Amino acid sequence: MTVGVTAASGHLGRLVIRSLLDRGVPAGDIVAGARSPEKVADLAALGVRVREADYDKPATLAEAFAGVDRLLLISASVVGIRVPQHTNAVNAAVAAGVSLIAYTSAPYADDTDLPIAPEHRATEEVIRASGVPFCFLRNSWYVENYTENLAPALQHGAILGAAGAGKVSAAPRADFAAAAAAVLAGDGHDGTVYELGGDQPFTLAELAAEVSRQSGTEVAYRDLPPEEYARALIGLGLPDGYAHVLAGSDVSLKEGRLLVETGDLSRLIGRPTTPLAESVAAGLARLS
């Protein structure tokens, strides 16, 4: 059985491939698809088959998916153009005879006002319509969305947001990657929809308290109106559209749209999800 992973040069894709190898999947049975294959030369050195796979170039997708039995379609990164990109990938998977498409979606994608959900919902519909057996991996927030941006928080003594006292079921990418690998390497996942999130949801105030505890620097959570938060993000250099998506996502967080309490993630990976304290420690270690 050959498994394929798209966007293999990205953070999640690399972790999925590492997790597959850790599970004992032979490197030669893994196809790593990347827009720039040279960026995954390290994976090729391990024996992983590396192929060009560009969502905007259907011909590359046809070649990349040839002989692939199970495919992990990792959602594209640019908001606003993902549906046609994903459609190209699904069409190529159908033509290649792929027997399972696993797709990294958003929490409760078919029934949520989360700003990023419409493209994920549309992609799920494209996959369902393709007739190929599917598994939707509806990932909640990556905890790295917070822990990889601790330097400004420590510098200014504040974590900004518009999430109020809402809780987010965030977990590290590695946990979500392990779940994807479990689906690709296992059986019985056809037609399943997994709502994936960390076992211990937290508020942004609790995140700030944990950063304070471990760093020895007082960091507070500053809750802002959504428009003010968006302006703050723009002031930090984020594009206007993306800043408003993040601010809108915080509003959804406040309303409970990123609270996932199914236990699906820990069941798939066969262990508890990584605690917040461990993720914060890793984030602080990157700063030293």
Report the pLDDT value the prediction gives residue 78, as an integer from 0 to 100. Answer: 87
* pLDDT at 236 > cutoff 90: no
pLDDT in tens, 5-40: 999 999 999 999 999 999 999 999 999 999 999 999
Domain ranges of the chain: 3-141+171-196+260-273
Answer yes or no: are the C-beta atoms of 51 and 63 closer than 8 Å: yes
Token digits for 134?
């599917």
pLDDT of 48 higher than 90: yes
Residue 242 has pLDDT above 90, yes or no: no
| pLDDT higher than threshold 90 for residue 168 | yes
Task: Decide: helix, strand or coil at residue 237.
Answer: coil
Residues 6+ apart with CB under 8 A from 243: 230, 231, 233, 234
Mean pLDDT, to the nearest integer, of 62-68? Answer: 98
* Confidence (pTM): 0.96
For range 72-81, the mean pLDDT: 93
Say which CATH topology domain 3-141+171-196+260-273 has.
Answer: Rossmann fold (3.40.50)
Query: CA torsion, points 44, 48, 49, 50, in degrees to nearest 10?
Result: -50
Give me the pLDDT at residue 93, please: 98
The pLDDT assigned to 82 comes to 95
Rounded Cα–Cα distance for residues 74 and 61 (Å): 13
The length of the chain in residues reads: 288
Question: How many Å apart are CA 64 and CA 100, to the nearest integer?
Answer: 15
d(CA 207, CA 215): 12
- If we measure between CA atoms, which residue out of 58, 47, 45, 54 comes closest to residue 8? 54
* R_g (Cα) of the chain, nearest Å: 19
